[in-house]
A = this chain, B = another copy of it.
Amino acid sequence: MINQFKNFIQSNQLFSEGIPVLAGVSGGVDSMVLVNLFSLMNQPFAIAHCNFQLRGDESNADEKFVKELASTLKVECFTEQFDTKEVARTEKISIQMAARNLRYDWLEKIRKQNGFHFIATAHHRDDSIETVLMNLIKGTGIRGLHGILPKQGKIIRPLLFTGKNEIRKFALENKIAFREDSSNIKTVYERNLIRHKVIPLMEEINPSFKSSFENSIRHFVDAEALYELSIANFRKKLMKQKKSYALIDIPALLNSIAIETILFELLQLFGFEEKSIEQIFNSLKSESGKEFLSSTHRIIKDRKKLFIVEKELSDSEVFLIEKKKSQTIPIGENKIEIRLKEASSRTKHGQIELDADKISFPLILRKWKSGDYFYPTGMKMKKKKLSNFFVDLKIPLHEKENQFVLQDTADKIICVVGLRGDERFALKSFTKNFITIKI
């Protein structure tokens, strides 16, 4: 066992020899075997124990047992008592979830404060298999198949190479004392159904089910990594992510494979959930102008683009403008009129006129922000920061704060609304179509 343990730590690069580790110890057989293995290999470690106070005297006896262990092994011992039921009640989560959150938060705090490099937990192969089966039963994507990972950030699981039976056998052979966790048998009904009924049936079909399932899980871990790579490539290809908004190219998306899954992966970043992503997916081929909301973001569907903007911003300050003959956008007490015209007709004074064919639609109307720049008309293509432009024009502060810009989807500011157009889009003798912008 000790050799397998060392090999597993090495081949998964869990930690380098001699680096101090904090071990989460409940007093159950798994964590008792974990610290005994650490001890056998002369690994520097400390013990951390959470008393969730869920089983009265029993919980306190566990704590005492762990403290005694620490003094026997002559290692440092951290303990903490939690009012788990109260936390679950106030945070409106299950007691199990509350215990889990309290545990990992506290372990991380202790780790940081005391300079441990990693937190070791005693999860083993059977836990991992049960987790995957539970995900499969409840419904999952490919990310639900990787099981419990040997290393995740600062958490390491050095016992994942082995199962419950082997751990019990090792404890017995090495006379390692442990406490039975009564909750393990009485409660956690679903997990025990899997452990004591589902898995034995699977072993009836395939006697080496556990090891072949573990093997499958390793395949799924790799498959997941390759899946993530594909998703990252599509993200790069299909999505333009800017500071205040994002754009997804609909025709390119419709041309890819696994469209719905890719859309899901892109949109869940903005707080959209499966149900609403399904609706967005169904709208891809239909008309423009539809809007969808998540708790944080707004999506506006254009003919060729999904325009995603933060809800807070978008409510008052950002608008997506399609290529239409004419439209009027109310902003506070003002309104902005945008008209698309052919070169034969010319416009009145007081309007900004720009070459429509040079502009990438849809347009984005938003408040200006620091760092914005453009090429004011009449300045011979001189690049100018908006902040300086406002200073030159002596725009008072309160007006400056409410100044809007129109930018195109090639990220160029095409005009500062009400003030000046951009030279790059200025009318030339050969201009065929132009837009007028009036505030």
Nearest 6 CB-CB pairs, A to B? A139-B212, A222-B261, A226-B230, A222-B258, A142-B223, A141-B219
Q: Are A205 and B193 closer than 8 Å at their CB atoms?
A: yes
Which of A70-78, A195-203, A335-343, A419-427 faces chain B?
A195-203
Interface string of A198-224 (1 = CB under 8 A from B): 100110111001001101100110111
Smallest distance from the beta carbon of A173 to chain B beta carbons, Å? 30
Q: Which of B193, B215, B260 contacts A222 (CB under 8 A)?
A: B260
Residue numbers in B under 8 Å from A212 (CB-CB) = 138-139
Q: Which of A126-162 contact B (CB under 8 A)?
A: 134, 136-142, 144
Residue numbers in B under 8 Å from A224 (CB-CB) = 223
Write 7 A-B pairs (CB below 8 A) sorted by A numbering: A138-B205, A142-B223, A198-B201, A198-B202, A222-B260, A226-B231, A227-B227
**CA separation between A50 and B226, bound complex, in Å?**
42
**CA separation between A303 and B262, bound complex, in Å?**
39
A contact residues, range: 35 or more
Residue numbers in B under 8 Å from A102 (CB-CB) = none
**CA separation between A193 and B205, bound complex, in Å?**
8
**CA separation between A142 and B228, bound complex, in Å?**
14
Any B CB within 8 A of the CB of A41: no
Any B CB within 8 A of the CB of A397: no
Any B CB within 8 A of the CB of A172: no
Interface of A is mostly: helix
Residues on A close to B: CB < 8 A? 134, 136-142, 144, 190, 193-194, 197-198, 201-202, 204-206, 209, 212-213, 215-216, 219-220, 222-227, 229-231, 233, 257-258, 260-262
Residue numbers in B under 8 Å from A226 (CB-CB) = 226-227, 230-231, 257-258, 261-262
Smallest distance from the beta carbon of A128 to chain B beta carbons, Å? 14
**CA separation between A233 and B144, bound complex, in Å?**
25
Q: Are A209 and B137 closer than 8 Å at their CB atoms?
A: yes
Given known pairs A219-B142, A225-B258, A229-B230, the reply for A190 and B205 (CB within 8 Å) is yes
**CA separation between A212 and B137, bound complex, in Å?**
8
Residue numbers in B under 8 Å from A190 (CB-CB) = 205
A203's closest neighbor in chain B, by CB? Answer: B137
A212's closest neighbor in chain B, by CB? Answer: B139
Residue numbers in B under 8 Å from A209 (CB-CB) = 137
Residue numbers in B under 8 Å from A134 (CB-CB) = 205
Smallest distance from the beta carbon of A249 to chain B beta carbons, Å? 18
Q: Are A216 and B140 closer than 8 Å at their CB atoms?
A: yes
Residue numbers in B under 8 Å from A223 (CB-CB) = 141-142, 223-224, 227, 258, 261
Residue numbers in B under 8 Å from A142 (CB-CB) = 142, 219-220, 223
**CA separation between A230 and B139, bound complex, in Å?**
25
A265's closest neighbor in chain B, by CB? Answer: B226
Smallest distance from the beta carbon of A95 to chain B beta carbons, Å? 19
A204's closest neighbor in chain B, by CB? Answer: B193
